[in-house]
Amino acid sequence: MENNAWIHDHLSTGRQTGEYYATGDFSYRARHCAADGLVLAGDAFAFLDPVFSSGVFLALKGGELVADAVHAALEAGDVSAARFAEYGATLEQGLKAMRRLVYAFYDRNFSFGKLMRAHPEIRGELTDCLIGNLYRDFSQLFAALDEFARLPAPEADGLAVTAT
């Protein structure tokens, strides 16, 4: 508290009753996106730390994708988990792309400036990822990010459960 004048000023009238804790990375993801008769949408399936407003975008885009998938499933009279596999794969693709960018952002050694100076050819990929055009090939961007940031291993896909 003493290292930050604003926090000190605002908390100085209070009384500490325990230890201070800092937390970060509120991200989570369900293991599966659907089961027979059930599909997870928005934050029920996944939440990504909202750097670049990614959490809001992914929730809205996921809502759009799941609405189309549910509409098609109801029209077909088939709400089995398998019916939502394409929805899960599409949503997963976007989550994976944004997740890598978010983790790079949090790496203390990462700098967008250094990345762009070393790899000006990926400017379009980086811009697309930042603005939410997440459903494309980002292999050049990811390869460049790997040079500058420690990124987590890819998570297992959150595909549909084929039977409940």
Query: Which single residue is written with the structure tokens 């750097």?
Result: 51
% of the chain at pLDDT higher than 70: 88
* pLDDT: which is higher, 68 or 57: 68
CA distance 124 to 116: 11
> In the prediction, which pLDDT does 163 show?
47
> In the prediction, which pLDDT does 70 show?
97
Q: How confident is the model at residue 24 (pLDDT cuts 50, 70, 90)?
A: low
What's the whole-number average pLDDT of the chain? 85
Q: How confident is the model at residue 141 (pLDDT cuts 50, 70, 90)?
A: very high
% of the chain at pLDDT higher than 90: 35
> In the prediction, which pLDDT does 98 show?
87
* pLDDT: which is higher, 21 or 65: 65
**Residue 158 in this model has a pLDDT that exceeds 70:** no
CA distance 72 to 50: 30
CA distance 30 to 144: 28
| 3 state SS of 98 | helix
Delimit the domains of the chain by residue range. 27-148
Q: Which residues contact 76 (CB under 8 A, 6 or more apart)?
A: 83
91-131 pLDDT, tens digit each: 888 888 888 888 888 888 899 999 999 999 999 999 998 88
**Residue 164 in this model has a pLDDT that exceeds 50:** no
DSSP state of 17: -
Q: How confident is the model at residue 58 (pLDDT cuts 50, 70, 90)?
A: confident
